[in-house]
Amino acid sequence: MARFRVSWRSLFNLFPPGDPSGVALAAFSLGVTFLCTFNPCLAQRRPAAVEPPSASWKKHPQPASAGYVGSERCRSCHKAEFIEFGKTAHARLRDNANRPVMDCETCHGPGKVHSDAEEAAHGNDAKIAAAATLIFGFHGSPKENAEHCLTCHVTDRTQTSFAHSQHLAVGVSCDSCHSPHLVEAVDNPDQVHTQFAQAKFFSVPQIAEEHRWLAESQLRETQPALCYHCHATVQAQFALPFHHRVPEGLMKCTDCHNPHGTLLNLASLREPNWETCVKCHAEKRGPFVFEHPPVRVLGCVECHNPHGAVARFMLVRRETRFLCLQCHGDPHSAQASVPHSRGGFQTRGDCTRCHVAIHGSNFNVDFLQ
């Protein structure tokens, strides 16, 4: 439903109180106006928590004849990893017979040759290093590492495009960001990462590392610190005066971006074009009777820098009038798209002083109030 902005005075002028035939219609119009006007106030301003993606699993047979020895044998050497893995959603998967679906060898492959070589090493460093190569330890290429995860994680639409994603193209695999067994949580269960200054100001609480890891899709670090390892330029933009509250901990990178890739846009946004923005900025969605073409065609980033800017409203130009003139041309030319004379054109101030409904209007083609 389109959102209307109607003043009370205009309604009373349209339906005078002395007109009996217009009383009911005026009351109905006021009710509709109230609902439409205050609907944006009920819109969600802060993105909801990202739900974990769905994954389909298929239990593969692990006969002893194929070299499978079971996870209990792995525990003798890899106790920390075994304990942490047992706390994850992977370890809680059960089949119809209430048997575990996943264990160490589900991801690492059969471990008999590896475990036999480890036991035969008797502490010899060279033999131990050679034994480590007899099992898949996720030390292969990013594509090889990702293929082990994608055998299950291919049913959710947020992960189906990872094979064509920019992350995989530059050598970022699943295990670069996720850890199926974060052993650091065992070594120091109360570990707390250093917070950014903005988060300190907003008093965002920090939980124990192990609980954070289990609650955040088993990420190696919390967001946005994990993303900043590669996206340092974005970290600098978030330090600018006007920015989305990602450093403060009130938003996450994955609220807007899909790190597993998407075929919808180059920035790996969760939705095409401006749909990602209007999930929070619902009052800008429309549809409007008079649309502002850049909003629909080019998207919000034509005027705003979503990560941060020195100008208010995160505009890409410091002065709003210069931003408008990038598209609306020279006001003195014969084919001027700004119908103002030299005396009437605002040489100081913003275009939005008059053109208030710049994102779209239901009443005025020039976006006037």
Percent of the chain with pLDDT over 90: 26
Predicted local distance difference test score (pLDDT) of residue 345: 55
Predicted local distance difference test score (pLDDT) of residue 262: 87
Which stretches within 61-155 are classed as H helix?
71-75, 79-85, 104-108, 112-121, 125-132, 142-150
Q: pLDDT tens for residues 44-99?
A: 445 555 566 667 666 677 888 888 998 889 998 899 899 999 999 898 888 888 88
Q: Please state the domain extents for the chain.
A: 1-41, 64-137, 170-272, 275-369
The tokens of 232 are what? 């340092």
Cα 359 → chain centroid: 24
Per DSSP, the three-state class of 351 is helix
302 DSSP assignment:
G
Q: How far is CA 47 from CA 44, 210, 343, in A?
A: 7, 24, 46
Residue 368 bridge partners (DSSP)? none
Predicted local distance difference test score (pLDDT) of residue 115: 92
Average per-residue pLDDT for the chain = 79
Q: pLDDT tens for residues 349-369?
A: 678 888 889 999 999 988 887
pLDDT values of the chain reduced to their tens digit, one per residue, 369 residues: 444 444 444 444 544 555 555 555 555 555 545 444 444 444 444 555 556 666 766 667 788 888 899 888 999 889 989 999 999 989 888 888 888 888 899 999 999 999 999 999 888 889 999 999 999 989 889 999 998 888 888 777 788 888 888 899 999 999 999 999 888 755 555 555 666 777 777 767 778 888 888 888 899 988 899 999 999 999 999 999 999 999 888 899 999 999 998 887 888 898 887 888 998 898 888 889 998 888 888 889 889 999 999 998 999 998 888 888 888 766 555 445 666 655 555 555 678 888 889 999 999 988 887
Nearest residue to 283 via CA among 10, 44, 47, 50? 44
